[in-house]
Chains A and B, each alone.
Chain A
Amino acid sequence: MGEILVIVLAALIFIAALTRETFVLVLGYLILGTYLLGRWWTQQSLKSLRVHRLFADHVFPGENVPVQITLNNRSWLPAVWMSIRDLHPIDLSEIKVFKQVISLPGRKTMQLHYQLKATRRGFYAVGPMSIETGDLFGWVDQAFSEYRPDYLTVYPRVIPLKRPDLPSHSPLGALRHKQPIFEDPTRPVGKRDYMRGDAIRRVDWKASAATGKLQVKLFEPSIDMEMMLFLNLNTDEYHAKSRFDGPELGIVTAASLSNWAVQNRQAVGLVTNGIDPLNTTGEIRPIEPRKTQAHLMRILEALARVKLQTNRRIGIREMVRTYRHSLSWGTTLVVISGSANEEILRELILARQAGMKPILIVCGWYVEVNLPIQNGRAFGIPVSILHSEDELRGWQA
């Protein structure tokens, strides 16, 4: 409409100027003025607008996320109308788009609020936000500006575990252990009379002199549990009916185990074949075992972001085979997958032979276990089957 209008007006003004028709010229000025001013005003409204979206970008499931949009009009001109649309995934709110039409006076700041609800883990784009405005007469098309999205990370659910049944071969650690072969000489707990077979190194000579009988020191057994989690997110390797709940349960299990390990000052690492949306190659780099809280957050962030994948070349067996060589002796190797078969078992047996302590956790409401399991073990390797988060909570006992 604008283009035709300008051409008509130009012709009108030109003819009016030639024929000296004052009132036609005035009319031309009036209409052309509203067109030009309206057009300039519309562009200026968007140019002088500063938009800022503020929210807590890392949350846990179940938390409410208040989002605040701040609009700052730096111009003296008011923005008569602005239609604001802020997109967000349906997982975060029942309404997919926040929509509001406002009027923003000149040199004013306005804040708009809405709530998101973090229902499930993920890496979500909040936005992009689009702002539309236009002139008061409909001369020009609506001007449109888009603002980049911000990202919200919802961590996976972390279930606090107290004593998960995770064996380790690593001696001299921070965790108390039942087996006396892992006694820690830095943790003396008492003395007893010497018995045949006690090592000479354990004799407490001072106490022996004082009591007149040979006394030997008693130590508390302990282990160090460096743990590496291998998380399989290839949905093809889960039961067909548990393609989605199985990997998600696996993620919760990995997050909970990582949390447990770090709370007990144990090093934990993560290898997964899921997809990282932030990495151009799509792969998640393996996370080396570390003990700190910051390291835990790094693992949780990766688990929050990771996406399930299908038909990827690298399966759980290849993953274990690739990375087990770089793990230290005694590491507890936790494999979380949706199925248990001979192939993975063969890899785990090789890992055990290399001095590691492998464990297989099969997740999903429906699981594929093609192995003879007796007393929770398949060929001596512990196998746990988790059907739901409730069963994981059972590990608290």
Chain B
Amino acid sequence: MSGRPPADAPVWVSRRSTSSALNVVTVLIFVIFGFGIRYLLERLSPGTHAGYVPVVLGASSAIALYSYTRRKTLEGQEKTLFWVSELISLAVLLRVFFAVRGGLASLQNEFSAFKVDFFAAFFNPTYLLMLFCGLVSWVLSNYLAAQYDFLYEREQDVFWDDLGKIQNSLKQVRGHIITVVVFLLIFFIFITAIASVPIELQGVLSIQAAPAAPVWMSMVFGALVLVMLSLTQFILLRSRWEIDRSTVSLDVHRQWLVSAAILLVIIGVLSAVLPTGYSIGFFELVALVGNFLLQVATLLFYAILLPFTLLGRLFTSKPVDSPEPPQVQIPPIVTTESPGGIPPVLQLIRDILLWVLTFAVVGFAFYQFATSNSILLKRLGSLGVMKWLVDVFRSILAFFRGAGQALQEQINRLQKAGVRLPALRRRAGQRLSAPDDARGRIIFRYKELVGFAGEHGIPRRESQTPYQYREAFTTQAPAVSPQVAEVTDVFVEARYSPHDLQPQAADQFEARIETIEKALDELSENKAGDDESPAG
């Protein structure tokens, strides 16, 4: 309590502003959610007056967020009474809003209806539907308001509570907020998806297929969810910095805001530009591309065989028909749709892009999963086919990496010493062929280790000899000092000795390197773990 900073401290100002921003984003999320519900209602029942759903949801959310700050100071019966009175006020206000929304004529009609059957007229189906939507928004907003308040309270505890406890608590609160928002997102996707699907229930319901929900709704909703995530992440980090008693530069708040906005705009534009529809299905596209490649291969085969065919004419008395070159042609694109009259080639490009993107994402997800579950990867790797595939992939990778390195080295050399093309070619050839023999493999893997270690915080300076680098390495990672010493000795032998090296030596060398790399990975993870440990 004594360690609390003065009320005018910048972080305090920032805390108020983030709190307000969270409330604004919450209201906006409910407004967009309202648009989704409106879209669904208009599809299910075209006569429903659902135009006010976004307003109702937004207003209910705003009321809930505002009244929470008033209600939280109350206790016991007072609190319950406030709660009930707020709900009744909300219901009445909503009804009044419905009564006056059509102007004076609508109000007169309402009163006439009240005279006939007050109960039925007051609680008409549209009103009940709106009331239900408003109540859902009110309840969820209340829950979110409680979480924000808890977040705010816990954040203030940083001056006298345990670091790990606060961090865990804040993470938990953030988890709750995200859960609600993700739940809304999923529900939003569900209702907008279901709205465009044709539904046919014999004698009960018959809904024709409709165009998909407007893209802007999902983009704005997604953007708001991301803003919410960004805000809560900022609050989490800010409390951590405060616990840590770090001096926080004022620029961080401004830069965060600006960068998040720029990032969202860029991603928003990209999302809008990237293909979302297609006219050729995946398997059709595969067949199309496969067919095209086959034709290209045939043409190449023809080109290779052509000289032999022509030579063959010299040894035969019979006239040989001159071979006809195969025609390469793009197969006709059978489109299932033609949106906006896009030319077929552009359609093809768009479809290829979409499917490549989709499968790249799936591949990336698989890679992520496999790298974080190394046992699975090992088991897969033990399969013969997988081994072969991995070897092929590694060879290709090594080739390109070697080529890239050789190119870079030569560019550097050329920049320093001018152009000497014959030497350049010779050296590039040596460099690329190096991984094939034991000496080349050892040097290559050692360089890879140096790069790897550099990425893990043990960079090698240009002026350092292998032995000096070994010293620096073992100081940073003493656990692997015997392996590093051994590896350095082998490398020096490979680099400077004239005698031949056995492939077994290179195998052993690579095994040692792998051990070191694993140890470095573990070291990095431990460091990261130590850093995360306060939060549990």
Give the B-binding residues of A (Cβ under 8 A): 2-3, 6-7, 9-11, 13-14, 17, 19-34, 37-38, 78, 80-81, 83, 85, 99-103, 105, 130, 132, 134, 136-138, 141-142, 144-148
Contacts and interface: CB of A to CB of B under 8 A. Distances in A.
B248 A101 contact: yes
Contact of B222 (A11, A13, A30): A30
B501 interface: no
A136 B259 contact: yes
B361 A138 contact: no
Nearest to B249: A102
Nearest to B359: A14
A20 B241 CA distance: 45
B272 A26 contact: yes
Most B CB atoms within 10 A — which of A28, A103, A148? A103
Contacts of B213: 23
Interface of B: 174, 185, 189, 192-193, 196, 212-215, 217-219, 221-223, 225-226, 229-230, 232-234, 236-237, 241, 244-249, 251-252, 254-256, 259-260, 263-264, 266-268, 270-272, 274, 276-278, 354-355, 357-358, 361-362, 364-366, 368-369, 372, 457, 472, 476, 524, 527-528, 531-532
A138 B532 CA distance: 14
Nearest to A110: B249
B252 A10 contact: no
Nearest to A101: B248
B255 A23 contact: no
Contacts of B225: 31
A120 B213 CA distance: 73
A13 to B, nearest CB: 5
Contacts of B192: 23
A100 B255 contact: no
B263 A22 contact: no
A102 B226 contact: no
A148 B365 contact: no
A33 B262 CA distance: 13
A31 B222 contact: yes
B355 to A, nearest CB: 7
Given A7-B369, A100-B249, A30 B259 contact: no
B278 to A, nearest CB: 7
A100 B246 contact: yes
B225 to A, nearest CB: 8
B58 to A, nearest CB: 21
Contact of B271 (A33, A81, A130, A148): A33
A9 to B, nearest CB: 7
Given A9-B361, A20-B277, A101 B193 contact: no
B524 A144 contact: yes
B473 to A, nearest CB: 11
Contact of B252 (A11, A80, A142): A80
Contact of B255 (A80, A144, A145): A80
17 contacts: A7-B369, A14-B361, A17-B278, A23-B214, A26-B276, A30-B223, A31-B226, A80-B252, A80-B255, A81-B256, A83-B244, A100-B247, A101-B252, A102-B252, A130-B531, A141-B532, A144-B531
A287 to B, nearest CB: 23
Contact of A33 (B247, B270, B276, B354): B270
A2 B272 CA distance: 23
Contact of B358 (A13, A22, A103): A13
A78 B364 contact: no
A37 B230 CA distance: 14
A85 B368 CA distance: 30
B255 A81 contact: yes
B151 to A, nearest CB: 14
Given A3-B369, A7-B368, A146-B457, A14 B252 contact: no
A33 B278 CA distance: 20
Contacts of A17: 278, 354-355, 358
Contacts of B357: 13
B245 A137 contact: no
Contact of B218 (A3, A13, A23): A23
A258 B267 CA distance: 69
Contact of B249 (A10, A21, A101, A147): A101
Contacts of B266: 37
Contacts of A80: 252, 255-256, 259
B260 A3 contact: no
Contact of A14 (B249, B277, B362): B362
Contacts of A24: 189, 193, 218
A23 B217 contact: yes
A52 to B, nearest CB: 13
Nearest to B219: A26
B218 A27 contact: yes
Given A33-B267, A34-B264, A103-B249, A137 B276 contact: no
Nearest to B262: A78
B215 A23 contact: yes
B369 A22 contact: no
A27 B222 CA distance: 6
B217 A99 contact: no
Given A10-B365, A14-B362, A20-B278, A30 B271 contact: yes
Nearest to A99: B246
Contacts of A3: 368-369, 372
Contacts of B196: 21
Given A27-B221, A137-B233, A37 B267 contact: yes
Given A78-B259, A136-B234, A142-B528, 6 more contacts: A2-B368, A19-B193, A23-B218, A33-B270, A103-B252, A137-B233
